[in-house]
Amino acid sequence: MYRFLLTPRWWGINVFAVLAIPLCLFMGSWQLSRFEDRVDTHQQQEDRSARAKTAAARPLADLLPVDKDTSGRQAGARGHYDTARQLLVPGRTLKDRHGGQQGFYVLSLLRTDSGKALPVVRGWLPGDAGTKADTARVPAPPKGEVTVTGALQASENQGTDGVQAGGGLPQGQLGMISAASLVNIVPYDVYDAWITLTDAQAPLRAVPPAAAEGSGLDLKAFQNLGYTGEWFVFAGFVVFMWFRLFRRDAEAAKDAALGIVPEAEAEAEAEADGDGDGGAARVGEPGEPPAGGVDAAGDLPQGEDKAGERGADRGEAQVEGQVEGHVEAQGEGRAEGRGEAARAGKA
């Protein structure tokens, strides 16, 4: 009964199912592992940030370039601030237990002994970087040689929260903290990294370090989780469609084995038989109604019923006429025979 599984059509269906189901399960498991890796990395980043607050600072050169392992680590650098080029980074939100406030970062450039400058976020202030009343509260950077300590951060990019990469900012403001943005503002080289001070100068508030890119529970992490569900759903759909097709063909094979012809095939065979007879109506065959059909009660229509009665009467009259003619012919033949016998006796 299941010999239909050996047909070319079912060979194709089976090969597709055998390849598609493992592929969907593999992709779903891979996406799930990506989500779990992001969760683990996020936890490690939080633990590292917590330890970095109490850990001893390491020289800046030992932590470069910035990656997932060095991001958030305490770095130390020595030099003097460029007091003539203090910059404000507008549109930055500082989150605390009371929610989030809109404000701006205060960024100064530390000229190190290597000749490069290190961007240092000295702190954050609430308000608008374009308002003189708010910017008047920004303290001037310390003069002379200083040693700074803070959490090391990678250069920002267009996907970083709060970045204004479109330009058009007033002089003295910076939309994105990166070496690529600063190279057009200052006449010296800049490190491809920056630090946020652990101890901010009043009235500035310290900016907490951000998690390294790709290590937090961001939108990409939840996209991995969504893709996991989609791949597993695809695998289930393939199984469902295979079972549905198998059940349909198995029922059709069972009906054929029992000699049950589906209604559609019976109608097609009847039409084929009618075409073979030249389209002529086959009146009088068993199981076929007259050409006029029957009404809802199973009786012939009134006009055709009367026509049938008249035809039957004519048929009966013809039969009676033939019988009477036959009888008369037999009588005449007997009479002629007796007449000839009588004439012969007289002779």
User: Token match 């308000």: residue?
Assistant: 127
Mean pLDDT computed over every residue of the chain: 78
Higher per-residue confidence, 162 vs 188: 188
pLDDT > 50? residue 20: yes
Per-residue confidence band for 150, with pLDDT thresholds at 50, 70 and 90: very high
What is this structure's pTM? 0.56
Residue 124 tokens read as 């954050």
What number is the average pLDDT over the span 221-234?
Answer: 91
Q: Contact, 111 vs 150, CB < 8 A?
A: no
pLDDT at 316 over 80: no
**Which pLDDT belongs to residue 342?**
44
Q: 91: part of which helix (H) or strand (E)?
A: strand 87-96
Kindly give, in sequence order, each residue whose CB lies less than 8 Å from that of residue 119, ignoring residues fewer than 6 positions away.
Answer: 107, 108, 109, 110, 177, 182, 190, 191, 193, 194, 195
| Residue 35 clears pLDDT 80, i.e. is over it | yes
Q: Is the pLDDT assigned to residue 238 strictly greater than 90?
A: yes
pLDDT band at 217 (very low <50, low <70, confident <90, very high): low
Q: How confident is the model at residue 279 (pLDDT cuts 50, 70, 90)?
A: very low
Name the band, by pLDDT with cuts 50, 70 and 90, for residue 100.
confident
Task: Identify whether the C-beta of residue 109 lies closer than 8 Å to the C-beta of residue 122.
Answer: no
The reported pLDDT for the residue numbered 208 is 87
As to burial, measured by CB atoms within 10 angstroms (0-12 exposed, 13-18 middle, 19+ buried), residue 59 is exposed
Closest CA to 224 of 20, 36, 4, 5: 36
What share of the chain has pLDDT > 70, as a percent?
69
Instruction: Tell me the mean pLDDT in the region 221-250.
Output: 92
Angle between helices 219-257 and 8-52 (to 10 degrees): 160
